[in-house]
Structure 1
Amino acid sequence: MIVHLTRATRHVLFWSLIAVAVLMSAARIFLADIDAYQAELEQKIRRISGIPVHIGSLEAGLRGFNPEVILKGISIEAADPASKPDIQLREIRLGIDFLALLLSRDWLSASRVTLVGADIGIIRREDGSLMLKGLQASDEPPLWLLQSGKYEILDSQITWQDLKRHGKPVHFDRFDLVLKNHYFDQSHEVHLLSTLPEQYGDSLRISADITGNIFEPDNFAGQIYLEGTDLQASALVTGDLPLGFNLQSGAGDVRVWSLWRNASPYQVDGYIQAQQVKISKNQGKPIALDTFEGSFSWSDEEGRWRLAGYDVNVFANQQRWPDGAFYLQQDPQGNLGAVIKQLDLPAAMYLAPLLVPTDHDYADYLTLNPKGRLRDVSLFVGSDYLRYAARGGFSDLGVEHFGAIPQIKHVSGEISLTDQYGQVMLDTENAQFDASDWFRNPLDVKRLRGTLYWWQTGQAWQFRGRDLAIESADFAGLAQLDLWLPKSQASPVLDLTLAFGEFNDISQVPKYLPAKIMGEGAVDWLDDAFIGGRIKRGELVVKGALDQFPFLDGQGLFETVFAIENGEIQFNEDWPHLQSVYADVQFSGADLQVSILEGRSEKVDIDQAVVTIPALADSEHVYVWGQVQAKVMDSLAFLQKSPLKSNIDPVVELLNGSGKVKVDLDLKIPYYETDPVKVKVDAHLDGAQLTVKPIALNVEAIKGVLTFTEDRIGSSRLDARALGYPLQGRLSSDAQATYLDIDGVTSIDKLQKQFSFLPSDVAKGKFAYAGKLILPYEQSLPGSLRIGSDLKGVAIDSQPSLSKTAAEERSLNLAFQFEDGSELPLQLSYGSELSGYFLIDKKQEMLRSGHIVFGQGQAGRFEETGLKLDIRQPSFNLSQAAGAYGGNASSRLPALREVSVDTEQLVWQGQALGPLHGRMRFGDRHWQGSIDSAMAKGRFSIPEQLHANQPIELDMDFLNLSAMDKFNLEHADEAVTELPLIDIDSVQLLWRGVNLGALLLQTERVGNGIHFKTVQLQSGKRKINLTADWLKQPTGTVTQIKGTLQAEKFGDLLSQLAFSDDFKETSADIGFKGGWRGGPHQFSLDRLNGVLQLDLKDGRISSIEPGFGRLLGLIAMEQWVKRLSLDFSDVYRQGLAFDQIKGRIKIKDGLAFTDDLTVDAVAANFYLAGYANLAAKTLDQRVAVVPKSSGAVPIAGTIVGGIASIITQVVTDDYKEGYFFGSQYKLSGNWGDINVTPLHDEDGLVNKTWRGLTDFGWLDSITE
């Protein structure tokens, strides 16, 4: 079966396609010659439509299966041949729908007309009928448009004008329009789609399904749908709007479904989304909507219109009103009814000017600007707007301040009212009331429960509330209220009683004060007065006309009373708060009084106090009276946090104390800082104790009354004990400081116990003193304590310049400076002989540093740790001062760090050493300074550890050895291993007034003493080089020395040193090696041991004088030369010139031996042998004199005259060198009286005789 059906279907389809192909081919053949019918077609169209149509060209073809004729270059001729055609077309397409033709069998209804590129006009006449401009050949409407099957207008232009709304023409560039006429039900379907010009919007769509003749007024019905996107109202809406509305601007999207009857809408539903809308009613002020969105439904039946809105969202006036829903109805008589499911009142009031007549009396109530949301409200308003009734719920209701009505926010509840009476059942949370005429800030109500009734009379509105439960953020209360609001200009009258409690934070009290009708100063004080605490119960009563509040003249009653528990009160911002306060507070009329029963402030206990402000509105002061008690320091700490701070701070900084004090307060405190505070505080002391902290001085058993005012401190006579004895004092003050004058007595032992750094063994006795404690108010100035005494009754045993007996008077002045920091400055003066400036370590109670001046001048501040000592006296005994500083005194005093001495006579161990000017300072572990005295001048550096290997360094301009002879160094050899090393670099070394030259001395430490590794003395061509050792041995110390002396003018050196003036023009090269028992300072001839190597050249012995004898005594040849001069004065009276004096001298225990000392003179040679006792000053020597020629022997001379005559006659040759003429002499005796004995038997004729003379073999036994 299926196979047969499949085969049959194939045959049907095949032959159907064949038939269609044949028909289409026939149609094409028929249409091929269609252009021949152009003229005939123009005539037929003119005849049927009555339109003067001109066809430019004619084409034919198929549109699908339907034939289509295309007419191009179409124009409709104007009635006036000279004018432009009303309608012009690019082309017209005419076609037949075969299927529609088969069904209707009506060629006209099956036809299809398409206009492309049309430019037409549509006009709505005043009667509501439509006119197509240019399509009517006569006054009759173009009914043929409603008879054809389908009309299309594509890619065309159109001009619209609504004459019924007095609109202006609106031109659209591109639109597509489809008109379908349905044959069976005679209905018409219209679709319009347009892309709008930019000034009109984005797009527009209109769809309509209508019946009747749209070209006749009131003769069509149906439904119309309109949709537009981004429509621009100002360009599109050019005519009048219903109800007097005027749409000035706006843009948005619209979707509207409407039902029409008799060419008028009777039901409209739609959705609108618009932005930047401005709309007004009649000539009223336009309403601006930032955005508007909502759905609506409107209907009008028999004069009764209804309007419903839902999902309405409005953003305007910087507010958003979402989810609005309402229903409005107005009957033919003008009565308005409404059912409001949900409506935001700001939106309703904002839009109200569009609904309520602006010239009506009730328009003033729009100024209430209500806020909130209505729920399920039924409303009736009479046409006269005088009768109304309403019932419903509201939430977050609020109104602006209007007349006597305060601003109200966030009130919720239910309402039932008429124009005569009503009631509000309040069920509110977090409401707010702002009575700006009374209160500075809105009053927050956390919860409000109760019913408020009101009614209206001819004269006033009356309100009544009973047991209104109020719970604010701060307290809970129950109110009874009666309020009369006159309709005239009379004042409202209030009768309010509010019982409240559970007020747990009294700092919030100022929020509930009617500050706007109180004095500014009182309000400022009350704002700050209540800091903390709670009110267990209280009551507020207000009765009277509100324009008389707070009823100062008795026309009403205003009173608030409450009890504070555990409160904190500030009666002035400059005074400490009152804490733990239990007080009764009463506002009565214009007065305020706070009665404090108990409390504390800081650590001060309040026995009783009263704070009052009389006449709050006019008063400029707060008055405080009270009695308090506390410990001494606690009371000072209290006053320290008051306006008396600048007076009390210096006291607290310096004093500490214990004991109780009772204080009477009497304060008059202004509201404003520009006015002075009046203060009188009396502090009663009875047995209190105070300690002057910087010096730890205790003052006990203080009795008296201290009085503090706003600018002064004073007292009665104060009795106390300090330093073991009674004293009296009195406080006073001026604009700069507070003063405490004291008078008392004490003893040296009590004073030493207080100040441990004072010496304990130099003074004894008891003395009177006067003191003054100064406490400046200026913070940068330190306090001070000055103590003065004449020290009568005190004996002082110290240096002569400082000592005194108990009967003598000598001024002592002490000045303590109480500076910040860890140091306490102390200035001291004792007569005119001593001044000091000390810094005492407060924590350790000992001296940290000091500056002491002995003599004229004042000591200054020495910041470094240690002592600075200045000596400025005409004569200063250094050994006594060193003894006084040693022992216990030095252990109590800090170490010396700087010393300055300026004296014209320095005394050391009874020896006057002459003027001394020196400075030295300790730093970098060394004493460094300078000295200027007769002994030395220059700079020095002394190491801190003298026994170490660091030497004392002297960098001198000169050293004077002669001036040092007065020093007693007898004990120095005992400490040779502990003596410091010394290095000297002196420009000059003076001895006996002679500059010996530049001295360079360097030492180093060896195991048992000191080694002088360099001793160099140089001046011009004179140079001395030495090395030495100072050693400690079991038998004592010993000094060993080795060195040389080289000099060009040795005679000048001897002359300068006053040894002798006899040597002239002599060069010397002298070497010495030896030593002595004892230290270098213990040199003694009888302990001298060593060898002296003498070599003098090219000199002359001018004459013989005692001075020269002393020199020769040192070299064991002095006395014989002296005798030779006596014996040969006639020969050598002009001086003895020599080429060389050379020899070697051995010295042992002061005995000087020589056996080879030779004087090579110009005229003779001298040979010496023998010894000299340097300590005993005796001589025993032999001298041989050998002339070099006979011409050298004078004739004169009684001793050798005869021998000389014979020799000169017999021997005359110079080369004999006195072989036959030599003379010998024996020198013996004391240096001052030497005997010269000629030895004639040994005169030189035989060589062996001379050798025997000069052999001195007996000397060997002595020198061994």
Structure 2
Amino acid sequence: RQTLENPKYLSLMERLLPGGTLNLIDISWFADNGAFPAGDVSVQARFENAGLYAAGKNPGVQGLTGAVKYSKEQFLIDIDSYDITLDASAFFSQPLYFSEFKSMFAGKKISGLWEIGMTGVAFSNADLAGTAAARVVILEEFEKSMLDLQVKVDHVELNRLPFYLPSRLKKTKSWFQNRVDSGTAEKIIVTARGEMASSFFTRNGADFEVSAEVKSGRVEIGGGWPSVDDIDGRFGYKNHQVVFAPTAAQIFGVNVSDSELKIDKTGTPETTLTLNGTALAPISDLIRYVNESPLSKATKGGLKNMVSDGVGKLALRLKVPLLNRKDTQVDGSINLTGSSLRVTELAPEFNDFEALVEFTKGAVMIRNGKALIFDGPVSFASQRVNRGLGRIKFEADVYAGAFMDYLSLPVELSGKIGSSGVLEFRPNELSMDFNVELERVASKLPRPLDGFVGNGQPVKVAYVSKKSGAREVTFTYGNAKVGNLVFFNRNLVRGTLNSAKVVDDGFFLIGGEISHLDLDGWRDFVDKRKKEDLSNTFPLTVLVDTHVRRVDAFGNTFDDVEVNGQFLKSDGLFNIDSTKIAGKIALSDYGNDEAKVSAHLTRLAVRRSARKEVSGTNKAAELNRPLLAIDAVIDKFELDDIVRGAVTFRAIPNNGRWDIKELSTITDVGTLTMRGNWRPGLEPRVEYYVEFNVEDVGQYLFSLDGAEHMHGGAGTLSGSVSWRGSPFVLDLKTLDGALNLEVKDGRFLKINPGAGHIISLLSLQALPRRITLDFRDVFSSGFSFDDITSEIIVTSGVARTDKLLMDGTSASVAITGSANLVRKEQELEVFVTPKISGAASVAGAVAANPAIGLAAFLAQKLLGNPFDRIATRHYIVKGNWSDPDVVRVQRGSLQ
């Protein structure tokens, strides 16, 4: 009666609203004088579909079936039910359903307190199956209770686990619901000790623990971080902290088992997720992790296109406040080693590299970086900054050839380039400023580009690479800007050399003053790249506006030359002006088989003595340059300071040889025209047919050296000649040919007999000094002639004639023998017949009887005329031209 009449008990019953069916009820008691017994009541019954509604901190249950027995403030409840619902709103945010539930409850009142034990608990539903045991002590007349609970679950899917987590763990439940995608939890053990209240899971006085083994789990970290897959490990919840220590886990297929995940201060506003871990993986996987996580912001996307075959060790610490993700803290490091790494497709390749990369949420640091780049060693490290990769200092010692290959420049450099500078990552661009030491670099480039090396002065280089694909390289030498190159997607789009001017896209400007330009060298340089397609090697329009202090071209040197023009792919037009050369030069299809050079020069002055002799490989290279079609006109041509008149040259290539259509000079006194061909190669040879018509031989000879050798005379020289070597440089040593000479109506003037050239030989002024018969009146003051004729055969620089005849007014001369044009020596027989009798000249007689030997004919002629026989003299002339030996042959001594 006391229990039933207790207001608190009655109030509890009103809230719980017990229901269900009781049967087989057996109640017994002992009463005295009709009063309700106080402690001797015994009850036992069966119940079906019984239940209680949840009320406050007291849970509710529906669908219980079993038996109950009560006696002397003790009870025993045996439950064997199917399809029950547990409503514990103080613990769970929704009712829990079980398809099967078995349990034994035993309660006993001790010292006014109910102690209830729960044993033999077994439950199952579609998610899980398990057992449990518990002890509950109810205090203060059902207003307060203490719980000691242990639950064991064999198996549950991880994505269903939040359904069974206490409602007070809101952030933890939310994190599990949103971040745990798959996997299973096995061997789950839940223990709870403490006062049963709405704040059970957040009170310091309560003890709630969960442990489990996780299999094949997948967790989305959130905040842009990559998921963790294939997780195996031990999961635990204790002291308001979730701890997960995986024995196996992967990120992008990389093993990250050496890691730990924690959620601290669950159920509070300070709930924080912490991830610590290390991973050893291919750098390609680590790069993917960086690029697909918030670390990509720290690197500003600088590693987006990195490619590497190396291995890296990642150490990561991640701290995420679940209520304030913007305060996420990140720090870690990556040890990188490998044989090949390329930061971007356009960046140079790093070989045999190693580096320590440290990072935070906003910044990345590089420590102790070492690698090989452009075949040479480089060391690098960065300075600490608040965001991005910051500034990276580096020192390198690289090979010049490899560096030029990277820039796609056809520049032939060898040796090592020493450099030091700073690389800086800015928003949307990468920049480098560094000094380049070129002391150990050798250049095979022609001048002037060989002038930047070897003198100890560094070249300053500024390099900028933008996200758009644009790259710019600026070179400063001393205090002058010497070059600027602008690329887009690795293609050169504009540039300057030796000029501070800015040009539009598609142009390359060469300006300023150039000390020395080796045009011959640049011809060879371009010719070597003919097969590489000149238009692809350098696709820009080259603008030239420069003053060159010295130009080496075609073996000659020209000083103070102004050059203005342009060149596009294979065509160009240039204006040239200096004291020695002036005019226009046009190039078409240069570098191709149809290449042609057209020129109209108002003046050209060259010296044979200025041309340097080449030999060996250089000579072979010169003679094997590709043949070009040439059409050139020179209005005023000077050779060795002597004006040679106007020159025309026309030639076209033909199956490996040069067909020379015309090489001619025109002066006031004569015209020289040559036609033929030139076969280049290691044994080059030129063949010409020569026509030389001179209206005034004396004036022509005077134009050659400024000395008077002859007065008047009109002559022709014609025939075929050939020699080894260049078609523009006569090689006397290999000269061969057959020539016909005829000169009429002239007079040899009084000249220095020791002049040392062939004119002094023909003038015969050496004879009077060496003969006893005085012919001074005949030769010393000059020899007038009506006609000179000869057929000359030249072999290896030695000219031979069987009949060189001079018919003069005072004498007739016949010469036979040879003259060495190289050594300037002679070996001649000279027959001189003064015209004493007025008979026909020797020259005319010999010309009329060519089949008769000259000596026999002269002897016969002299014997027929006593006067002539007495006057004719026969001489042997030997030695050099300037001082010959003359010996008179006595009559009868030479047969």
TM-score normalized by the length of structure 1: 0.40
Matched, 1:917 2:563: yes
State the Cα distance separating 1:614 from its structure 2 match: 0.6
State the Cα distance separating 1:582 from its structure 2 match: 2.2
Instruction: Quote the residue 1:678 is aligned against.
Output: 329
8 Å CA contact retained: 1:714, 1:730? yes
Instruction: Quote the residue 1:733 is aligned against.
Output: 385
Question: Comparing both chains, which one has the higher relative contact order based on Cα–Cα distances under 8 Å and sequence gaps of 6 or more?
Answer: 2
Task: Map 1:297-446 to 2 at 5 A.
Answer: 426-428=81-83
Matched, 1:874 2:527: no
8 Å CA contact retained: 2:643, 2:703? no
Q: 1:692 to 1:534 in 2, by over 3 A?
A: same
Instruction: List per-residue Cα deviations over 1:489-525 (Å, max 9, x = no partner).
Output: x99999895724232532322233355x554586246
Secondary structure, aligned partner of 2:174? helix
Equivalent residue for 2:208, pick from 559, 563, 567: 559
Q: 1:975 to 1:1262 in 2, by over 3 A?
A: farther
Instruction: Quote the residue 1:339 is aligned against.
Output: none
Instruction: Quote the residue 1:225 is aligned against.
Output: none
Equivalent residue for 1:953, pick from 590, 596, 612: 596
Instruction: Quote the residue 2:829 is aligned against.
Output: none
Instruction: Quote the residue 2:650 is aligned against.
Output: 1001
8 Å CA contact retained: 1:525, 1:572? no
Equivalent residue for 1:781, pick from 429, 445, 449: 429
**What is the letter of the counterpart of residue 659 of structure 2?**
H
CA RMSD in angstroms, aligned pairs only: 7.5
1:753 & 1:955 partners in 2: Cα distance?
Answer: 35
Instruction: Quote the residue 2:890 is aligned against.
Output: none
Secondary structure, aligned partner of 1:1081? coil
Instruction: Quote the residue 2:871 is aligned against.
Output: none
Secondary structure, aligned partner of 1:564? strand
8 Å CA contact retained: 2:118, 2:135? yes
Instruction: List per-residue Cα deviations over 1:903-954 (Å, max 9, x = no partner).
Output: 342024874224263778696xxx4333333365232235647xxxx45412
Q: 1:673 to 1:640 in 2, by over 3 A?
A: farther
Instruction: Quote the residue 1:1011 is aligned against.
Output: 659
Q: 1:905 to 1:542 in 2, by over 3 A?
A: same
2:851 & 2:677 partners in 1: Cα distance?
Answer: 24
1:861 & 1:503 partners in 2: Cα distance?
Answer: 73
1:492 & 1:518 partners in 2: Cα distance?
Answer: 22
State the Cα distance separating 1:1170 from its structure 2 match: 1.1
Matched, 1:1171 2:806: no
Q: 1:853 to 1:1018 in 2, by over 3 A?
A: same
Instruction: List per-residue Cα deviations over 1:1180-1205 (Å, max 9, x = no partner).
Output: 9889xxxxxxxxxxxxxxxxxxxxxx
Instruction: Quote the residue 2:155 is aligned against.
Output: 503
Instruction: Quote the residue 2:575 is aligned against.
Output: 932
**What is the letter of the counterpart of residue 503 of structure 1?**
H
8 Å CA contact retained: 1:541, 1:560? yes
1:886 & 1:1182 partners in 2: Cα distance?
Answer: 57
Unaligned runs of 5+ residues in structure 1 are 1-390, 454-462, 485-489, 1060-1068, 1093-1113, 1124-1147, 1153-1166, 1184-1223, 1229-1237, 1243-1248
2:812 & 2:392 partners in 1: Cα distance?
Answer: 94
Instruction: List per-residue Cα deviations over 1:1008-1063 (Å, max 9, x = no partner).
Output: x64335779999xx9999854557999995644478999xxx99xx99x999xxxx
Matched, 1:810 2:491: no
The higher radius of gyration belongs to 1
8 Å CA contact retained: 1:697, 1:754? no
**What is the letter of the counterpart of residue 983 of structure 1?**
A
State the Cα distance separating 1:472 from its structure 2 match: 3.1
State the Cα distance separating 1:563 from its structure 2 match: 1.7
8 Å CA contact retained: 2:461, 2:473? yes
**What is the letter of the counterpart of residue 811 of structure 1?**
P
1:584 & 1:1017 partners in 2: Cα distance?
Answer: 103
1:471 & 1:1031 partners in 2: Cα distance?
Answer: 103
2:278 & 2:148 partners in 1: Cα distance?
Answer: 40
Secondary structure, aligned partner of 1:510? helix
Equivalent residue for 1:538, pick from 174, 189, 207: 189
**What is the letter of the counterpart of residue 329 of structure 2?**
K
Instruction: Quote the residue 1:476 is aligned against.
Output: 129
8 Å CA contact retained: 2:747, 2:785? no
State the Cα distance separating 1:955 from its structure 2 match: 3.4
1:688 & 1:877 partners in 2: Cα distance?
Answer: 47
State the Cα distance separating 1:678 from its structure 2 match: 1.6
8 Å CA contact retained: 1:480, 1:497? yes
Q: 1:1028 to 1:788 in 2, by over 3 A?
A: closer
8 Å CA contact retained: 1:522, 1:619? no
Q: 1:540 to 1:957 in 2, by over 3 A?
A: farther
8 Å CA contact retained: 2:672, 2:691? yes
Q: 1:869 to 1:1226 in 2, by over 3 A?
A: farther
Task: Map 1:702-721 to 2 at 5 A.
Answer: 707-714=358-365, 718=368
1:789 & 1:973 partners in 2: Cα distance?
Answer: 35
2:498 & 2:236 partners in 1: Cα distance?
Answer: 73
Unaligned runs of 5+ residues in structure 2 are 1-45, 69-76, 106-115, 343-347, 705-713, 751-758, 764-783, 793-798, 814-833, 853-895
Q: 1:492 to 1:647 in 2, by over 3 A?
A: same
Instruction: List per-residue Cα deviations over 1:700-724 (Å, max 9, x = no partner).
Output: 6x7xx86432223447x74979799
State the Cα distance separating 1:732 from its structure 2 match: 2.1
1:1256 & 1:609 partners in 2: Cα distance?
Answer: 124
Q: 1:944 to 1:672 in 2, by over 3 A?
A: farther
Q: 1:755 to 1:504 in 2, by over 3 A?
A: farther
8 Å CA contact retained: 1:1000, 1:1016? yes
Instruction: List per-residue Cα deviations over 1:872-930 (Å, max 9, x = no partner).
Output: 6523251795699799999999999348774342024874224263778696xxx4333
Matched, 1:696 2:350: yes
Q: 1:1024 to 1:616 in 2, by over 3 A?
A: farther
Instruction: Quote the residue 2:629 is aligned against.
Output: 983
TM-score normalized by the length of structure 2: 0.53
Instruction: Quote the residue 1:897 is aligned against.
Output: 537
Instruction: List per-residue Cα deviations over 1:735-765 (Å, max 9, x = no partner).
Output: 3433333468x6xxx857987979999768x
State the Cα distance separating 1:544 from its structure 2 match: 6.9
- Alignment: residue pair count: 673
Q: 1:1031 to 1:979 in 2, by over 3 A?
A: same
Task: Map 1:61-210 to 2 at 5 A.
Answer: none
**What is the letter of the counterpart of residue 696 of structure 1?**
F
1:682 & 1:878 partners in 2: Cα distance?
Answer: 54
Percentage of pairs with the same residue: 13
8 Å CA contact retained: 2:194, 2:200? no
Q: 1:890 to 1:740 in 2, by over 3 A?
A: farther
2:274 & 2:59 partners in 1: Cα distance?
Answer: 35
1:666 & 1:975 partners in 2: Cα distance?
Answer: 66
Q: 1:1241 to 1:830 in 2, by over 3 A?
A: same
Q: 1:768 to 1:521 in 2, by over 3 A?
A: same
8 Å CA contact retained: 1:826, 1:837? yes
Task: Map 1:606-645 to 2 at 5 A.
Answer: 607=258, 609=260, 611-619=262-270, 621-624=272-275, 626=276, 628=278, 630=280, 633=283, 642-645=293-296
1:1044 & 1:743 partners in 2: Cα distance?
Answer: 69
**What is the letter of the counterpart of residue 187 of structure 2?**
K
Q: 1:407 to 1:498 in 2, by over 3 A?
A: same
